[in-house]
């Protein structure tokens, strides 16, 4: 099974793919919300709810609710052409990438296992949910792009379930379990501050956990071959530069990833500015659209 790639067609219509959420390797388990006020200059990016202003202390990591919300907005700018990541709970469509349905805040896919895991876990918590009856079909289509037993009724059931906080919480919990928490833990173990933690998270969202050369584990391995992370006595900027180089190479290995702006005109900008703590204001571009988190 392929490693997970990026997940959906953003609102602006540019292609993003999804792939497999492979098993999390032991290396990823090394150990080491609030709202951010934000605005987007992209015409179809929804305005963000305003937060209570506070000063971000140097060294605050991505587990801080304020910083975590910023990370979700940064990812959403690339995944959905919007900073309003909370508007994506009800999202579901087949983007024609061979991986079936893509849905929810992190692009859970019917063909790659993570949607099945999500619905199974949710059903254990809430057996009478609208999606429970589709579990047999989800098990059958896993590993394919088939809609057999799903279709429009399943899409409607997803949207209905996603109206309820319990399913929204389930999506966030699965996002954290599979993607966010392992990425941040590994980044902290490598001695990286908030920018590096975000770079790891964005990479695992697009490429998936795992050890293949185009997965997060493979990208990190390629970076380690070029530079040492701070935890090994290396320079943080040099190492993150090597990681972004390896990430870009992995993206370019698939034709659909030829636009590498989420690295080139977003993360690389923050790195060149020396903004290792991801302190606002942040200004970046994805697919040519401009975004800003002011404070």
Are 254 and 17 within 8 A, CB to CB?
yes
Determine how many CB atoms are found less than 10 A away from the CB of residue 147: 16
Are 85 and 105 within 8 A, CB to CB?
yes
- 275 three-class SS: coil
Active-site option among 84, 97, 174, 289: 97
Give me 273's structure tokens. Answer: 């500015």
156 is annotated as an active-site residue? no
44 is annotated as an active-site residue? no
d(CA 84, CA 212): 32
Q: Which residues, in sequence order, are bridge partners of residue 90?
A: none
Active-site option among 61, 69, 79, 236: 79
d(CA 86, CA 33): 11
Distances (CA, A) of 12 to 90, 262, 281: 18, 15, 24
> Residue 26, exposed/middle/buried by CB under 10 A (0-12, 13-18, 19+)?
exposed
Distances (CA, A) of 230 to 66, 196, 238, 268, 269: 25, 11, 10, 18, 20
Instruction: Find tokens 């429009």 and name the residue.
Output: 152
Are 161 and 90 within 8 A, CB to CB?
no
Helix H or strand E encompassing 23: none
Are 224 and 189 within 8 A, CB to CB?
no
**What are the residue numbers of the active site?**
79, 97
């Amino acid at each position: 099974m392929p490693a997970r790639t990026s997940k959906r067609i953003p609102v602006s219509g540019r292609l993003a793919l999804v792939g497999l959420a492979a098993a999390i390797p032991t290396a990823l388990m090394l150990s080491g919300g609030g709202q951010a006020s934000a605005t987007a200059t992209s015409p179809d990016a929804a305005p963000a709810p305003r937060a209570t202003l506070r000063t971000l202390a140097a060294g605050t990591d991505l587990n801080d609710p304020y910083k975590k919300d910023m990370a979700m907005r940064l990812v959403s700018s690339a995944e959905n052409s919007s900073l309003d990541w909370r508007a994506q709970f009800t999202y579901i469509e087949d983007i024609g990438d061979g991986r079936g349905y893509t849905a929810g805040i992190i692009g859970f896919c019917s063909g790659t296992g993570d949607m099945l895991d999500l619905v199974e876990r949710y059903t254990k918590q809430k057996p009478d949910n609208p999606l429970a009856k589709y579990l047999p079909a989800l098990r059958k289509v896993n590993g394919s792009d088939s809609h057999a037993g799903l279709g429009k009724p399943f899409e409607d059931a997803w949207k209905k379930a996603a109206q309820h906080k319990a399913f929204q919480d389930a999506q966030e919990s699965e996002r954290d379990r599979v993607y966010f928490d392992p990425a941040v833990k590994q980044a902290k173990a490598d001695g990286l501050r908030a920018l590096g933690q975000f770079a790891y998270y964005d990479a695992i969202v697009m490429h998936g956990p795992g050890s293949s050369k185009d997965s997060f584990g493979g990208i990190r391995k390629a970076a380690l071959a070029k530079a040492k992370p701070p935890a090994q006595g290396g320079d943080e900027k040099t190492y993150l530069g090597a990681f972004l180089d390896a990430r870009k190479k992995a993206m370019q290995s698939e034709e659909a990833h030829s636009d590498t702006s989420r690295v080139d005109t977003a993360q690389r900008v923050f790195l060149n500015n020396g903004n290792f703590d991801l302190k606002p204001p942040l200004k970046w571009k994805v697919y040519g659209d401009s975004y800003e988190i002011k404070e």
